[in-house]
Amino acid sequence: MIDHSAFGVDPWCLYEQHLDLSLMPHSESLFALSNGHVGWRGNLDEGEPHGLPGTYLNGVYEVRPLPYAEAAYGLPESGQSVINVTNGKLMRLLVEDEPFDVRYGKLHKHERCLDMRDGVLRRAVEWESPAGRRVKVRSTRMVSLTQRAIAAVLYEVEAVGEAARVVVQSELVANEELPAASDDPRAAGVLAEPLVGVSHGQMGSRVGLVHTVRKSGLRVAAVADHIVEGPENLLTQTESREDLGRFTAAVLLQPGEVLRVVKFVAYGWSAERSLPALRAQVEAALAAALQTSWEGLLADQRSCLDDYWSHADVEIDGDPDIQQAVRFGLFHIHQASARGEQRSIPAKGLTGNGYDGHAFWDTETFVLQVLTYTAPAAAADALRWRQRTLPLARDRAKQLRLQGAAFPWRTIAGEECSGYWPAGTAAFHINADIADAVIRYYLATGDHAFDREAGLELLVETARLWCSLGHFDGAGRFRIEGVTGPDEYSAIADNNVYTNLMAQRNLAAAADVAARHPELAAGLGVDPGETDHWRAAAKGMYIPYDEAIGVHPQADDFTKHAVWDFEATSADEYPLLLNFPYFDLYRKQVIKQADLVLALHLRGDAFDEEEKARNFSYYERLTVRDSSLSACSQSVMAAELGHLQLAYDYLGEAALMDLENLEHNTADGLHLASLAGSWIALVAGFGGMRHHDDRGVSFAPRLPPGWKRLAFRILVRGAVVRVETDPESAHYTLESGEDLEIRHYGTAITLSAGQTVSREIPEPPERPTPIQPRGRAPQPRGVHAMRDHTVHSAS
């Protein structure tokens, strides 16, 4: 765990006030910039020292074989790994004859700030070389949210005290040396030298490199241009080689004089376009950026973020850490999704190579919850990516001898890349999760075009999958057997309640969407017999229930299994998956991450309140949270059931997952789902927001101890609803849009534009606080957990 105080607490910025080399791998992820198309890790301008150099293009990957000790039918033979593409952020500095390297000389000042309103990473350094020459270095880095191919750096060097000969080398570097891969299965396979040079060149202040990725054959282009200002003695030159493009500016700076270099970098890639076409594309992007200018890009960036924050922001009075953390999360979610444009949103965005750069259900189940209500166009975009991969998902279903579409458990381009089928292919719930995101999106937006063009096909093909996966038993119950639910400490179980409930919704929604668009549905081969079958399967869906203890087993027989011996498990044996074999985890009652509890949230309409309370209490005793995909769901259900302190503690864990490196792997990239989880815990948890059906959005707000206020907005069917909660009452404002019916603790309220309706908040029910496994209770939050809130600023 990182002491969060290494990073200053400010409502809109993430500050680093001094450089701690041991935190560098971690801060590189926190300070990553991205627009969903290009991703730059927060590496130092000069490249070294580094934890993991990282420049990513969404969709650019290398193919690697997936080996098996024992082969079997249907195992994917090759995987996809995100690769570190051409590094365009490098700005090397030579002061007299000393390269600027924070490990040498004296660092008088080193501050960094991720500005979440300006959308830039700022750095301010004052450095004294080993020979005693002193310079100030200021840089501002951005990955443009408005021009998706563009990233840019403003790099300024000032001589301090005495004159200094200064050389800045602005580089494009391909095939950077990467640190060796770790043994942790969660870390990525690192691929050495994946890029093969195709062409390189320079012209004026411009340099460019084109490569192909060795095995996947994707073609990647990067070009950089520069605008330099400085004293008249300035000399510039450019050069290029296969893996290097370099622009050099050399100058003698008098004390107080500044060398100012603006670097514009344009990226492009394609699997199909010709070399001239790809080169023209990046040159055009660069021209547009130069035409916009650095200042123009900055202004556009701010304006884009202002627009985002105007409806996505969440305000908290009472916990500055969480205030900062939720904005940090929303900022990174925006970065990951803003310009994905029908590419995936990987589990770690474009902030690191963890999980090989794969997208999982994290996107649909967690990230899209946030985007659907704050940036619906980005949610639609992500779902249209899934639709684009339907042909692959249909092929996979065929290979698995199933109907419809079987979406991959993990992938970059749509092919199944999971090399361990019990926790990959068997996790068929990914298909219901995608369907759920489609249903949620349509419910929230009423976007008929999407419904027709994408929703229908996605729901139909996933419903078909469930029909071939499940079967009716003699008693007319529809059973889905031998699948793996969200909890990865269980596998290949029968009638996982989460899966069955999500499949039930999937099947019913497919019948509904087919009824809305009968002709289009017929074009997909849907006939009334098929939709009847979907409705019958949904209606007959078997949901196991353990009468003896009044609890829903996570899957058939789960509650009959031995309970994990938590008393005998020491703190350093977590995460359990690194210390116990799967077979032992699978056969016992021990839960890695919310599974049934996630069903209590997402299918809350399928349980009554007492069932929820009993289930939540039962599963709290078993859940160890060895996954980042758990705390937020536990927070939501704790809040619903009135365990407000517990909900608060889980919120803290979800929100600070990356800021405090709670899973020790933030260095590989941020956990986007957990970042989304802080919004979910706030809005669905303390805001009590649910949206199960077309009866409208409902709220049941209730603040955690010590908070004075929580406010957020959601976008629903074109309307902007603002919800503000204080300890006594909730205030609902329709900021724009047509009259809208919402519910407050079950009571309908009709909102009209500009009007605020306030309602009292009922007392929470009294229930015994649930107990967690020994040592696995979340860190308590509250007044005693507060820290210094001084705001620092980077110069």
Of 5, 50, 46, nearest to 24 by C-alpha is: 50
The residue (of 110 and 479) whose beta carbon lies closer to its own copies is 479
Torsion sign, CA atoms 564, 570, 574, 579: negative
Is 471 a binder of its own copies (CB under 8 A)? yes
Tell me the one-letter amino acid at 525: G
Question: What is d(CA 55, CA 84) in angstroms, rounded to the nearest whole number?
Answer: 5
Q: Is 556 in the site for its own copies (CB under 8 A)?
A: yes
CB of 586 vs its own copies, minimal distance in Å: 5
Point out which span in 64-72, 244-252, 335-343, 781-789 binds its own copies (CB under 8 A).
64-72
Q: Does 183 bind its own copies (CB under 8 A)?
A: yes
Q: How far is it, in rounded angstroms, from Cα 383 to Cα 386?
A: 5
| Among positions 494, 512, 546, 726, the unique one binding its own copies when judged by CB under 8 A | 494
User: 594 near 629, Cβ under 8 Å?
Assistant: yes
Q: Can you tell me which of 49, 74, 256, 764 binds its own copies, judged by CB under 8 A?
A: 74
End-to-end CA distance of the chain: 29
Q: How far apart (Å, rounded) are the C-alpha atoms in residues 530 and 461?
A: 12
Q: Using the rule CB under 8 A, which residue among 232, 272, 401, 525 binds its own copies? A: 401
Quick check: 642 binds its own copies (CB under 8 A)? Answer: no
Q: Pick the piece of the chain touching its own copies (CB under 8 A) from 100-108, 357-365, 440-448, 573-581.
A: 573-581
Amino acid at 300: D
Nearest to 327 by CA among 382, 370, 384, 274: 370
Question: Beta strands 164-173 and 91-95: pairing type?
Answer: antiparallel
Among 36, 53, 59, 79, binds its own copies (CB under 8 A): 79
User: Least Å distance between CB 424 and its own copies?
Assistant: 8
**Does 473 participate in binding its own copies (rule CB under 8 A)?**
yes
CB burial class (10 A; 0-12, 13-18, 19+) of residue 360? buried
Phi first, then psi: what are they for 235, rounded to 5°?
Answer: -120, 135
Structure-token pair, residue 697: 């959005």
Task: Please state the closest distance from residue 560 (CB atom) to its own copies, in A.
Answer: 6
Of 76 and 318, nearer to its own copies (C-beta) is 76
Residues 411-470 close enough to bind its own copies by CB under 8 A: 418-426
Residue pair 321/787 in contact by the 8 Å Cβ criterion: yes
A 10 A CB-CB count for 131 gives 11
Give one DSSP letter per residue of 594-622, joined into a string. -SHHHHHHHTGGGS-HHHHHHHHHHHHTT
Q: Residue holding tokens 């089928």? A: 421
Does 608 bind its own copies (CB under 8 A)? Our answer is no
For its own copies, the binding residue among 117, 561, 743, 759 (CB under 8 A) is: 561
Q: Is the peptide bond before 49 cis (omega within 30 degrees of 0)?
A: yes
| Annotated catalytic residue, options 111, 488, 640, 724 | 488
Q: Rounded to the nearest 5 degrees, what angle is found at the Cα of 261, between the Cα atoms of 258 and 266?
A: 170
Report the nearest approach of its own copies to the CB of residue 530 (Å). 18
Establish if 203 lies at the interface with its own copies (CB under 8 A).
no
How many residues in the shown chain lie near its own copies by CB under 8 A?
52
Residues in contact with its own copies, shown as a per-residue x/- string from 359 to 398 under the rule CB under 8 A: ----------------------------------------
Exactly one of 52, 125, 135, 400 binds its own copies (CB under 8 A); that residue is 400
Q: Is 519 in the site for its own copies (CB under 8 A)?
A: no
Quick check: 94 binds its own copies (CB under 8 A)? no
Cα distance between residue 651 and residue 656, in whole Å: 8
Q: Is 584 in the site for its own copies (CB under 8 A)?
A: yes
* Residue span binding its own copies (CB under 8 A) among the ranges 88-96, 475-483, 615-623, 658-666: 475-483
Please say if 488 is a catalytic residue.
Answer: yes
Positions marked active-site: 488
- Positions touching its own copies (CB under 8 A) are 66-76, 79, 183, 185, 399-402, 418-426, 471, 473, 479, 481-483, 491-492, 494, 556-557, 560-562, 577-584, 586-588
